[in-house]
Amino acid sequence: MADNSIDSKDLKKNVFLDDLGGGVVDPTELVAMWYENGKDWNFMPGILEKLIGLGCLSEEEFEAMIVKEMENLPKDDYLERLKKGDLDVNVRKECLEWIWKAHTHYGFTEQCFALAVNYYDRFMSLYELPRGATWAHQLLAVACLSLAAKMEQVEVPLTVDLQVGKPKAFFDGKTIQRMELMVLNALGWKLHACTPYTFIYHFLIKMVNDQLPLRPLIAKALQIIPSIIKGIEFLDFKPCEIAAAVAWSVLGKKEAIETDKALSCFKQVEKDNVFKCVQMIHDLKLVSLASSSNGVLEAASMSCKADE
């Protein structure tokens, strides 16, 4: 079957991309390679060292990402409109659950999921789809996941094949392509958005005690963030604040954290927001749930319930 959607190579050529002034390689690219090799740290010698080297940003690079982050957030009134009911929070929940299901089906990275959610929320903060038109929201979800996969994944299935499970509506390639273009135009072709995954490695490396192994901490952080992204209450926080809060939370015991060192790397983020987010993560038991066999699913359920 021919795929009429936007080609991923063309998209990456034309999308608005920053090189952050120094050609910084996004560490999420290495995580994508980790996924493609069965989540095996040993598939490439030295990958963890490379991840550490890429994840620890210079002060100038971090400042550039903070600026970039602000350019790719939903409008300020988006959360308030969701809380007031001007936008249907249940529709958002259903769309994100479908995106997660399709993302999991194809083994896409969590960064891919985070980008799709970013596109969805930014679009919905700008354009209001007709109430009751569940097909329109489903089409938006498909388009957002399709664009995120083309930005993040090396191999991308046909766009029409992304429609896994039992979607409420099924769309052909031309229809999805038109929606992709609508999303691209609405977002100003700015798809290389910052997500918590952009910052998580930086904060973990900055905060961790040298004696503590990084691998399990990174794995746990990667599990927690999707649950946070799904909850509307966390829309109050910027991606860098979420990443800092997750890093603090997965480190857990105070002896694992060099407190002065950790607080020093918060100087460019709102500390009050970070610790408010830490408290919410604690209240929802996201760290302990991430350690269980059904961690992400349980944590996501808790996060969604908190929104209701």
* Per-residue pLDDT tens digits for 62-111: 888 888 899 999 999 999 999 999 999 999 999 999 999 999 999 998 89
Strand partners, 208: 257
pLDDT for res 271: 85
Average pLDDT over residues 228-249: 93
pLDDT for res 166: 79
The model's pLDDT over 254-284, given as tens digits with 9 standing for 90+, comes to: 545 555 666 666 677 888 899 899 999 999 8
Task: Tell which wins on pLDDT, 303 or 237.
Answer: 237
Whole-number Å distance between alpha carbons of 286 and 282: 7
How does residue 8 score in pLDDT terms, banded at 50, 70 and 90? Answer: low
Whole-number Å distance between alpha carbons of 58 and 28: 17
Tokens 């290389």 locate to 192
pLDDT for res 85: 92
* pLDDT value at 293 more than 50: no
Long-range CB contact pairs, 170-174, < 8 A, 24+: 171/138, 171/139, 171/142, 172/4, 173/1, 173/2, 173/3, 173/4, 173/5, 174/4
Altogether, the residues listed in the chain come to a count of 308
* pLDDT value at 300 more than 50: no
Question: How far from the centroid of its chain's Cα atoms is residue 169's Cα?
Answer: 25
- H/E stretch holding 230: helix 214-230
Task: Tell which wins on pLDDT, 57 or 302.
Answer: 57
Task: Tell which wins on pLDDT, 156 or 7.
Answer: 156
Average pLDDT over residues 280-296: 72
164 neighbors 107 (Cβ within 8 angstroms): no
Residue 135: partners with Cβ closer than 8 Å, 6 or more residues away: 168, 169
Strand segments, DSSP code E, in the chain are none
* pLDDT value at 18 more than 70: no
Judging by beta carbons within 10 Å of its beta carbon (0-12, 13-18, 19+), is residue 264 exposed, middle or buried?
Answer: exposed
* pLDDT value at 37 more than 50: yes
Range from 148-152, 173-177, 209-213 carrying the lowest mean pLDDT: 209-213
Percent of the chain whose pLDDT exceeds 70: 69
* pLDDT value at 147 more than 90: yes
Q: What is the pTM of this model?
A: 0.79
- Around Cβ 79, how many Cβ atoms within 10 Å? 18
Percent of the chain whose pLDDT exceeds 90: 44
The model's pLDDT over 39-51, given as tens digits with 9 standing for 90+, comes to: 554 544 444 444 4
- Around Cβ 275, how many Cβ atoms within 10 Å? 15
DSSP 253: S
Average pLDDT over residues 125-133: 88
